[in-house]
Structure formats: structure tokens, C-alpha cells
């Protein structure tokens, strides 16, 4: 057998294996996207197989939909704060448990008990979002039975007759949710950054120490630049999470699929689901889906571009 034929045979073999996953991917991932795109030009109700073609109407309505615009704004706020706060905290903790200890005779090490912290910080990550919403539901509960309210009443900060209705306060609700996401995410990114830090050769740190660098300098001049790839990836992941937020908002806040009080915690996915399943405006909801997809893709590209830096080899 000639080498060319052999190569052809191998190509066929590989194609054969690739075909099934590709077909599955096209059927279950790409095709629904195409369908959604198609439905977004109709007035499909979601409950019946008949619908009319309405052109760009749904997109025009979307432009003036205040609830959706509010939701978009909330998503953007979360998009800034979720990655920022999570990554900063995770970096700080990761640095402390890996390189934050006193550089004694043993060189670079974490603060005392750092192994214990690593495990403990990871705990929130193993909880599912459903459990998380129950847990934080009990913390934010609006009467004195809530953990926060109970505590604040005990120490006399608030009056028992006027507890803080955390998730029913227009100005607080979004931040309360943000805290849950950050609490949930920090542990995972701490472990991720820890792994990245451990792959940084110790002698770089030692050299920095010998040169008299303090903790802050070590962090900003050595650790962060060497971790940039991980940080970048984390930012994209967290950004996508911030664009979603569906489970938390829909289970923790008031309203059909959440979003309350009075749309103050609305995110795009909750508005979408409400229109899709509850209001019978599925075509309109599909238009929202298309907008969300476009935004998510644009943001991913921007994040990757904006954070692009020279790669440091080690």
C-alpha cells in the first residue's frame, strides 16, 4: 500500500469517528440556534404549531422594551462586578495560601494552615445552585427568622418590627445576588490560580525575594504576569456566568421566573423565560435569545482582545 493511500485510509478512519460527534453537534447545538433565529421573526406563541412571519417586529419591540433594557443593564453591571470581585478575591487568597507566608529559611510558602484553607474555600463550589438559593434564601429571609436579620436585630442595629427585606429592596437585591455568585465562585478560582501559581518555578520567587521584593511587589511584578492566561480564561467564564444568572434570580427573587421587586433584579434570561413560557410570546423570546447570543459572543471577543498580552514563557 502506498503511503498516500494509507494516509487516505487514515483520513477516512478519522472522518468516520468525527462524523458522529459532528452530526450530534449540528443537530443538538447548531440546529436549535438556527431554529431560534428563524422563530425570532415570527409571532409564535409556543403553544401552537401555527405562526405568522412578522419580519423585524420582535427586534423593533425589543428596542423599546424597558424591562428588557433594564435587564440588559443589570447583566452589564454583573458583567463588570462578578469577574472583577471574584478574580481579585481569588487572586488574593491564592497568593496568600501559596506565596503569602513569611519568606523564612524555607523560601516561598503559603500562610499557616494554607492546605486547610484551600479545601475549605473549595466547599461552596460543590454546592449546586439550587442548594445555594435555599441556603441564601434562609440568610436573606425578610423576617427576623433570617440569619442576617436575626443577627442584626440581636446586636441592635435594626428594629425587629422593621427588618430589612433584603431581596425585596430595589437597591439591595442585585448586590445580594452578586454576593452569592462571588461566594460560590471564589473557591474554584482560588484552586485554579493556585495550580497556576504552583507551576511557576520557585526560583523566580526566590530571585525576587533575594532582590528584596515585598509581598505586594512579588504579587504584582511576578505572580500576576505569570498567571495572566488563567486570569483571562477566568474572566471569560465569569463573564458568561454573569450574562446568565438565571437559576439564582429565578429562584431567589419574587415574580414569575424571578426578577422582582418590580424588575429590579431582572436579567435577560428571566425576561426571556417569562415571555417564552408564561406570556405565550415565544417568538419575541427567541429574538431576546438571539440578542443574548450576539452580546455574549461580542463580549467574549472583547475580553480576549482587551486582555491580550505578551506571553511570558517559563
Partner 1 sequence: MGSTGEGLGRRDLIKRSAALGLITVPTMSFLSACASGGEENSTKGPAKAPVTKENPFGVAKGGKLDVVVFKGGFGDDYAKAWEAAFDKKWGTTSSHLGTQEITAKLQPRFNAGNPPDVVDDSGAQQIKLDVLAKGDQLADLTAVLDSPSLDDPTKKVRDTLVEGAYEQGLQGGKFVVLKYVYAVFGFWYSGKLFKEKGWAPPKTWDEFLAVCAKAKEAGIGGLAHQGKFPYYINVVIMDLIAKKGGLDAMKAIDNLEPNAFEGNPAALAAVEAVYEVVEKGLLMPGTNGLTHTESQTAWNQYKAAFIPSGSWLENEQLKQTPEDFDMKFLPMPLLADSKLPFEAIRAGVDEPFIVPEKAANKAAGFEFLRSMLSREWSTIFAQQANSLTVVKDGVDPSVKLRPGTQSAVEALKAAGSNTFSYRYPDWYSEMDTEIQNASNELMAQRIQPKEWIKRAQAAVDKAAKDPNAKNNKRA
* Interface positions with partner 1 (CB under 8 A): 46-49, 140-146, 149, 160-163, 165-168, 170, 254-256, 260-263, 274, 276-280, 282
Q: What DSSP state is assigned to residue 265?
A: T
User: For residues 86 and 153, which CB has a smaller minimum distance to partner 1 in the complex?
Assistant: 153
User: For residues 40 and 149, which CB has a smaller minimum distance to partner 1 in the complex?
Assistant: 149
User: For residues 138 and 298, which CB has a smaller minimum distance to partner 1 in the complex?
Assistant: 138
We find the least distance from the C-beta atom of residue 64 to partner 1, in angstroms, to be 13
| Alpha helices for the chain (secondary structure H) | 3-25, 31-39, 57-63, 66-99, 114-126, 129-140, 147-154, 173-198, 202-210, 215-217, 224-226, 228-244, 246-252, 268-273, 282-306
We find the least distance from the C-beta atom of residue 38 to partner 1, in angstroms, to be 14
We find the least distance from the C-beta atom of residue 254 to partner 1, in angstroms, to be 4
We find the least distance from the C-beta atom of residue 36 to partner 1, in angstroms, to be 13
Long-range contact set of residues 43-47: C-beta below 8 Å, sequence gap at least 24: 43/283, 43/284, 44/282, 44/283, 44/286, 45/280, 45/281, 45/282, 45/283, 46/276, 46/277, 46/280, 46/281, 46/282, 46/285, 47/280
**CB-count exposure of residue 234 (10 Å: 0-12, 13-18, 19+):** buried
User: For residues 273 and 292, which CB has a smaller minimum distance to partner 1 in the complex?
Assistant: 273
We find the least distance from the C-beta atom of residue 40 to partner 1, in angstroms, to be 16
User: For residues 103 and 289, which CB has a smaller minimum distance to partner 1 in the complex?
Assistant: 289
User: For residues 101 and 280, which CB has a smaller minimum distance to partner 1 in the complex?
Assistant: 280
Using the CB atoms, write b or e for 108-137: b if 16+ within 10 Å: bbbeeebeebbeebeebeeeebeebbeebe
Closest CA to 180 of 117, 248, 115, 116: 248
User: For residues 125 and 142, which CB has a smaller minimum distance to partner 1 in the complex?
Assistant: 142
Paired with 107 in beta bridges are 104
Collapsing DSSP to helix, strand or coil, 152 comes out as: helix
Quote the radius of gyration of the chain (alpha carbons, Å): 25
Amino acid at each position: 500500500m502506498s503511503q498516500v493511500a494509507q494516509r487516505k485510509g487514515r483520513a477516512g478512519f478519522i472522518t468516520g469517528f468525527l462524523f458522529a460527534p459532528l452530526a450530534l453537534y449540528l443537530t443538538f447545538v447548531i440546529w436549535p440556534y438556527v431554529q431560534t433565529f428563524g422563530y425570532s421573526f415570527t409571532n409564535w406563541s409556543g403553544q401552537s404549531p401555527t405562526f405568522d412571519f412578522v419580519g423585524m417586529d420582535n427586534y423593533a419591540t425589543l428596542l423599546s422594551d424597558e424591562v428588557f433594557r433594564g435587564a440588559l443593564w443589570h447583566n452589564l453591571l454583573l458583567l463588570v462586578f462578578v469577574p472583577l470581585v471574584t478574580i481579585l478575591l481569588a487572586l488574593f487568597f491564592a497568593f496568600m495560601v501559596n506565596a503569602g507566608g513569611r519568606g523564612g529559611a524555607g523560601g516561598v510558602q503559603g500562610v499557616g494552615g494554607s492546605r486547610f484553607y484551600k479545601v475549605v474555600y473549595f466547599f461552596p463550589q460543590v454546592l449546586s445552585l439550587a442548594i445555594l438559593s435555599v441556603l441564601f434564601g434562609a440568610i436573606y429571609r425578610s423576617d427576623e427568622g433570617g440569619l442576617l436579620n436575626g443577627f442584626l436585630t440581636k446586636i441592635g442595629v435594626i428594629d425587629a418590627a422593621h427588618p430589612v427585606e433584603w431581596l425585596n429592596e430595589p437597591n439591595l437585591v442585585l448586590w445580594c445576588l452578586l454576593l452569592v455568585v462571588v461566594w460560590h465562585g471564589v473557591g474554584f478560582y482560588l484552586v485554579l490560580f493556585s495550580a497556576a501559581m504552583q507551576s511557576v518555578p520557585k526560583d523566580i520567587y526566590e530571585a525576587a525575594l533575594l532582590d528584596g521584593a515585598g509581598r505586594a511587589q512579588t504579587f504584582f511584578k511576578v505572580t500576576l504576569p505569570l498567571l495572566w492566561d488563567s486570569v483571562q480564561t477566568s474572566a471569560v467564564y465569569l463573564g458568561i456566568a454573569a450574562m446568565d444568572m438565571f437559576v439564582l434570580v429565578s429562584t431567589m427573587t419574587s415574580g414569575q421566573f424571578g426578577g422582582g421587586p418590580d424588575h429590579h433584579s431582572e436579567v435577560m434570561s428571566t425576561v426571556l423565560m417569562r415571555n417564552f413560557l408564561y406570556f405565550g410570546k415565544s417568538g419575541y423570546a427567541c429574538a431576546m435569545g438571539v440578542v443574548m447570543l450576539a452580546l455574549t459572543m461580542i463580549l467574549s471577543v472583547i475580553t480576549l482582545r482587551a486582555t491580550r498580552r505578551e506571553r511570558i514563557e517559563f
